[in-house]
Amino acid sequence: MTSVLFNTISLDFSNVLDVTQSLGFYLGHVQPYCQHDWTLSFSGEPSPGSSIRYVETQSMQIGASYTLQFSLVMGCGRDPSPHIDTQVRLEFSTNHGLTWHLVKEACLPGMPSCSEFTAPSVYHPSEFTDWRRITLPLPHRAWSSATRFRWIQNYYGEQDEWALDDIYIGQQCLQMCHGHGWCDHGHCRCDPGFSGLDCQASSPLSSSILSDFESQDGLLAVWQEVIGGEVVTPDMGCGVVSSGSSLYFSKAGLRQLVSYDLDTEWAEFVQFYLRVGGDWVQCNMADSREEGVLLQYSNDGGISWGLIAEMYFTDFTKPRFVHYELPQASKTPCTRFRWWQPLHSGDGYDQWAIDDVIILSEREKHIIPMANPTMPQNFYEKPAFDYPLNQMSVWLMLGNEGMEKERNGSFCAPTPSAMVFGRSDGDRVAVTRDLVLRPGYTLQFKLNIGCESQFSASASVLLQYSHDAGRTWALVKEGCYLGSSGAGGCEGSGRELREPTVYATGDYESWTRVTIVIPRNVAAR
């Protein structure tokens, strides 16, 4: 007796013989579907007495460095049936179909021993309104001399069609083509814009995001995927998150926001405003940890995701500004970011909203002309000290700026472009021109005092504001400590402990970024 040992399947469904040798399917048809010429598609009404439809592979020899890749579309533009679970599950069996397991198990916050947070290999129509490629490295559990795979839909109505195309199961390609190509018998066929043996970006990618979500048009110019969310005005959704409209996630199915791939080699941080739940009855509160929002990055086109931050839902019951330094591993020529809510209780539950997302690269220094300070909201980063002309438009007055000649350029060696205050013993000050500020604006700068680690409060730098053309000055933020009586400085419901905007030698011996949300009383005029 002889047996054919399958260890590679590669199908574009143009050859029916290949298909029938590799796959067995129930209620599926090899036919054109949703702009693809040949596919394996599942359509039609459920037949009486049968509630499932599926496709199953032959038994295959699967080992280390095997991969599974396919294209999936669900509904092809038609909305899924409400209130039934029409998801398609991708499973494997190593005992001839006796028992089946998900190829990828869910790994969510709160679950023990998760190395990274991932969605399971269960596909919801909201993510597959058009053809999408999925690439999965095959886990150790799936290795055997006789592994089968199946795609299965347990429940469906007439409109819950789906189709598969371009199935590949076999040896992995180099770096999984970085998630930007098809793996074809071990070789990458790169997507447009990517090239080389392992599909690197052919030309440099954009390196910044500034998104204020003021209109639905143009959203997809900045974001690759907005699933389960839409731009809403302040009187809808969860209310004002930062300013004006926000991106509000409330729908059934997947809820995620994914950026395009960015060149983040010189990016430093990501910041945004987030709210989970809201004050109005229609915007209700998440009630478990998995219903919070995760911020993740991917260096391989979305195949795997590393964590930047978990936004725990109870921390965001009010709109909150957050700022995260990017981890070193997320700084590559091709990195994307996603905000993902792993679980929620369905359409109209556990809503969240995001606003004013900024990812900024050193390569794209910007300056907000003071003549037109209402341009990009709350954005105010790194005046271009390289260009003296720009300085003049920012600063009304500089006192003792520069260094004495013999020490010039010697301040804290690695400062290619900075404003240095080192002349004389008199006041050393930088005063901006008048700015129109609104609540929610942020102020950011990098600071270095003395370039030494010895603490001293005797030569602190104060950050102050004036509402009366410079006659009187007050700290942008007063300190707020336990037991402090100065209640005026402790605004907000949280009455959280807070440092004043006073910066002392020793705390700022290396260049340190300071980010301040402009308090309401400072923004008001």
Distances (CA, A) of 491 to 252, 267, 282, 516: 37, 33, 28, 15
CB 93, min distance to Ca ion, A:
26
Closer residue to Ca ion (CB): 174 or 285: 285
Distances (CA, A) of 517 to 318, 320, 378, 443, 450: 15, 10, 9, 6, 26
Closer residue to Ca ion (CB): 85 or 287: 287
Footprint of Ca ion (CB under 5 A): 12-13, 38, 165, 212-213, 244-245, 287, 345, 350, 355
Closer residue to Ca ion (CB): 9 or 142: 9
Residue 523's H or E segment, with its range, is: helix 520-523
Are the beta carbons of 43 and 160 closer than 8 angstroms? no
Closer residue to Ca ion (CB): 8 or 390: 8
Where are the alpha helices (H) located in 108-246, listed in sequence order? 219-222
> Closest by alpha carbon to 477, among 504, 513, 435, 515?
515
CB 184, min distance to Ca ion, A:
13
CB 162, min distance to Ca ion, A:
15
DSSP annotation string for 18-83: HHHHHEEEES-EEEEETTEEEEEEE-SPPPTT---EEEEEPPEEE-TTEEEEEEEEEGGGPPPPTT
Residue 509's Cβ-count burial label (10 Å; 0-12, 13-18, 19+) is middle
CB 284, min distance to Ca ion, A:
8
CB 436, min distance to Ca ion, A:
17
Closer residue to Ca ion (CB): 287 or 434: 287
Query: What distance in Å separates the CA atoms of residue 344 and residue 347, rounded to the nearest whole number?
Result: 8
Closer residue to Ca ion (CB): 174 or 219: 219
Strand partners, 402: 421
Closer residue to Ca ion (CB): 272 or 503: 272
Among all residues, whose Cβ is closest to Ca ion? 345
CB 68, min distance to Ca ion, A:
17
CB 441, min distance to Ca ion, A:
12
